[in-house]
Amino acid sequence: MAQSLISSLTPFKGGNENFDFFIKQLNNVAKLEKWGEVKKILVLKLNLKDEALKSLVSNPKFEEIDHFDSLVKKLEEKFCKKPNFEEAQRQFNNLKQKVSQSISDLAEQVSSTTDKFSNPNNSEEENIVNLTEKLKLSKFIEALRPDIRVEVKKLGPKNFKSAVAIAKNIDNALSDDGAEINVTDSGINQILSQ
């Protein structure tokens, strides 16, 4: 008889661990080894540790559940943090480029915050994806430093990616101009002091 893959499962401890990954792993092994419902429930329970195990033991209703998907749903409710809409909205509304923040960092922050705010379930639906992309574009431009924002708006980027590229180029150009001005000013001061 072939060796079971049960030992390859990483136990779920609760806390900040990825419950979805744990269940996906368990389902993959169950499918490969053609487990029945009872074995899936048993292996799931045996692979809970620490906080997850305490939760299982302290809640008698978990023991009564005899359907794998129902047990998974109850554990998800306990251990999977759903994005808080109000918090996501607050973060989205307060996005602004910080003084030393790079364009790339701002773009990443806008992208992840917008996804949490407008598409928390990672929907593939075309309308939601398009709306999210338009929100990213407008929020990114709005969050830029004023000197960069004005120049980006003049060029009117059509999508988020092009807005990021344009903003990077403008930021580099402004940084280069600043260096030349400083050199020129110091050169003038040096000439005047002679």
Choose among 3, 153, 21: nearest CA to 80.
21
- The fold of the 85-177 domain, in CATH, is 1.10.1200
Round to whole Å and give the CA distance between 194 and 186. 13
- pLDDT tens over the chain, length 194 residues: 456 777 777 888 887 667 888 888 889 888 989 999 989 988 888 888 888 888 888 887 777 888 888 888 888 877 776 657 777 788 888 889 988 889 999 998 998 888 877 777 777 888 888 888 999 999 999 999 999 999 999 999 999 999 999 999 999 988 875 544 444 455 545 555 54
Identify the pLDDT of residue 115: 83
Contacts of 28 (CB under 8 A, 6+ apart): none
Q: Could you please report the per-residue DSSP string of the chain?
A: -PPPSGGGPPPB--TTS-HHHHHHHHHHHHHHHT--HHHHHHHHHHTB-HHHHHHHHH-HHHHH---HHHHHHHHHHHH-PPPPHHHHHHHHHT----TT--HHHHHHHHHHHHHHHH-TT----HHHHHHHHHHHHHHHHHHS-HHHHHHHHHH--SSHHHHHHHHHHHHHHHHHHHHHHHHHHHHHHHHHH-
Q: What does pTM read for this prediction? A: 0.50
Round to whole Å and give the CA distance between 149 and 168. 11
Say how far residue 49 (Cα) sits from the centre of its chain.
26
The tokens describing 48, both together, are 């809970």
